[in-house]
Structure 1
Amino acid sequence: MRYLQENNNVEKYKSDSKDMSIIGILSSDARIPLTRIAKKVKLSRDAVKYRIDQYEKRGIIQGYRTVVDIKKFGYDKYHLFLKLNNPSSSIEEKLRKKFVSYPFTRAVIKFSGNYDYELAIVAKDIQELDKIISKIIEDCSSSLHESDLLLLPKTYIAETFPPNFPGHIQNKSSQYSSNQKIDKKDIEILKILGDSAKTPLHELETKVKLSADAISYRIKNMIKSGTIIKFVPVINYTSLNYNLHTLLLNISSFDEKKEKILKDFLQIDKNTLWATKTIGKYNVLIYLLVKNVDELQETLIKLRGLFPAQINHYETLIAYEEYKYIYFPKELF
């Protein structure tokens, strides 16, 4: 799951190098103090605040989320791709509202292509997954033409922006071994930060009934343990002249050697936003963020060159709109 959001006809934003730098810094840590951003971009604190306020006002930044490792809570991640049977707009709207209302969905994306929707879902075990899939199929009823479920065992790349973005800052990969015990107060903090990652400590203090120092200590511990991965802005890519494409690949005999070749390529590909290994009809899922078709084709051609005559099947989808986007589904806790 990666950062696409409601378009709402947001106008294109004419940005400069300072804007790109500020957005890039926020994408690496949305809770970074304004004074630190100001120092990095060589502007005053007030000038940085004004620019960020403008990004939010113009819909370039549409909120802030906390990226949480849901596996720490015993959940596995799945993506369900749905092809509908050309329902009327009213029926599709009802279905979309149901998809969004499910407590087990973390993202709902509408596509143009061979699939109409992608649902990012979580489940604790195969029995729970079976109930979830049965519920979705039942709700779709005759409107469902086809569905494909993918399990996500590992992530290769997870960025807010790919290297083709002028303000790109590469994520620093960290390995955590701490098995921190999460208690009710930690859950309360995550429920607030999950939807609003920039909530200041004094507001958390009032809501959670703990001191600012105690809350700060708990947040740091959750970061150290890997429960909190990072804090990110919700970027409206369309306003920055980018388009999001989803690529589904089935590579034959996808063994460790081929997996390493793919992973090494994804690490340097300038258009890759997010990529994961999958189990199901496809064994790779990639999100590409590009400004034009040529950039999309550039990555596709390179992938074909890496695996000549080994890509059995692939699908490219144009992400149209995302109706839900969370990392910590608080209704489950």
Structure 2
Amino acid sequence: MKYLPENIDKIDQKILITLDMDARMPLSRLAKICKISRDKVNYRINRLLQKNILGGFYTLIDIERLGYANYVVFLKIKNKEDEIVSYLKNNSHVNWLVNAEMQWDIVTWIAAKDQFTFIKFWKEFSERFENSLINAEIAILGSLVHYKRHFFTNEKNEDEIVVFGGRERREIDDKDMEILRAISFDARIKLLDLAKKVNLNFKTLQKRIRMLEKEQIIIGYRTYLNYSEIGYNYYLILLRLSNINKEILNKIRSYVKLDPYIDVSWQLIGKANMAIHIKAKNDKHLREVFNSFKNKFQDYIIDYETLLLYKQHKFVSFPS
């Protein structure tokens, strides 16, 4: 059964599919692919932004390669939720912050320059809110992989982007860091505007960006979708797997990238050692997607948790 998106026509779907893995694609090329004029493409992109279906364009950056350690923190709280959310939202180490239902109330991704920075953050946070926390779990985020969002067409597609997970550390200068911060939250920014913002001439900026791409620090450019606006719920499945090795992980990734409704996977070190992000219309659709996964890998699944992620408060691809 197909579970196609709502509130967008076939041309909008084509625009979103095309920009999905290349959000910096020029309007002229996008117009040619979509077989409409450049002005109409621009109008439709702006309309998708105004309708909050399209939340923006961001740059995928291998922050692990720049020395950042990544952690996912799961929180169960009994009070002061608004205060906790505000505190985390305004913390420079927080890359992602979302409300959840079921076992956990808040899920957040923390990027710290080293483990001591994370320990300091966690000590300050847990002491400040010790009377509000019922439970907490911390996992190391070892790898982050994105897959093409092909639920628009329900077609199988093997595109994937390994955002981080095992590349050697690379040193860059302060100007490159400034470029990454500027382009991280606006992947479609014009290079002339970016050059002014970071105080570089156009050719120097262009050369630096090409080098950041070649060195696999900039990994790609994606669109941010507000899934609820097109009729999907966002589920996070935390998996506890046994007998995991490289061969099994590769089999799981090969399966996941062919599923139209799974668009992100994590490899974790913690109680759960893997997670998959599923976009589904409803609980019935979720069961169909996950039961298929379970049947394929039942010999390795010890346990799992299902979280409904329902309100995102923050997302950045590069620590501020």
- Name the structure 2 match of 1:270: 260
1:57 to 40, 50, 58: 50
CA shift, 1:276, in A, is 1.6
Q: Which runs of 5+ in 2 are unaligned?
A: none
Q: Give SS of 2:153's match.
A: coil
- Name the structure 2 match of 1:159: 147
User: Does residue 73 of structure 1 match 2:73?
Assistant: no
Are residues 175 and 62 of structure 1, via their aligned partners in 2, closer, same or farther at CA, if it must alter by over 3 Å?
Answer: closer
User: Does residue 20 of structure 1 match 2:13?
Assistant: yes
Give the TM-score of the pair, scaled to structure 1. Answer: 0.87
Q: Give SS of 1:141's match.
A: coil
- Name the structure 1 match of 2:128: 139
Q: Give SS of 1:210's match.
A: coil
CA distance in 1, matches of 2:222, 2:42: 17
Q: Give SS of 2:317's match.
A: coil
CA shift, 1:253, in A, is 2.9
**How many residues matched?**
313
Q: Which amino acid aligns with 2:288?
A: E
What pairs with 1:233-244 in structure 2 (closer than 5 Å)? 233-244=223-234
1:107 to 93, 96, 101: 96
| Alignment check: 8 A CA contact 1:247 1:287 kept | yes
Q: Which amino acid aligns with 2:44?
A: R
CA distance in 1, matches of 2:158, 2:255: 15
Give the TM-score of the pair, scaled to structure 2. Answer: 0.90
CA shift, 1:180, in A, is 6.3
CA shift, 1:204, in A, is 1.5
| Alignment check: 8 A CA contact 1:248 1:284 kept | yes
Are residues 97 and 32 of structure 1, via their aligned partners in 2, closer, same or farther at CA, if it must alter by over 3 Å?
Answer: same
Q: Deviations over 1:22-47 (max 9, x none)?
A: 01112212211100000111100011
Q: Which amino acid aligns with 1:183?
A: D
CA distance in 1, matches of 2:311, 2:104: 13
| Alignment check: 8 A CA contact 1:82 1:116 kept | yes
- Name the structure 2 match of 1:8: none
Are residues 223 and 167 of structure 1, via their aligned partners in 2, closer, same or farther at CA, if it must alter by over 3 Å?
Answer: farther
Identity of aligned residues (%): 28
- Name the structure 2 match of 1:9: none
| Alignment check: 8 A CA contact 1:159 1:274 kept | yes
- Name the structure 2 match of 1:42: 35
Q: Which runs of 5+ in 1 are unaligned?
A: 1-11
CA shift, 1:248, in A, is 0.5
CA shift, 1:82, in A, is 0.6
Are residues 175 and 313 of structure 1, via their aligned partners in 2, closer, same or farther at CA, if it must alter by over 3 Å?
Answer: closer
CA distance in 2, matches of 1:159, 1:263: 10
Are residues 170 and 217 of structure 1, via their aligned partners in 2, closer, same or farther at CA, if it must alter by over 3 Å?
Answer: farther
2:176 to 186, 194, 198: 186
CA shift, 1:329, in A, is 1.1
- Name the structure 1 match of 2:84: 95
| Alignment check: 8 A CA contact 1:245 1:289 kept | yes
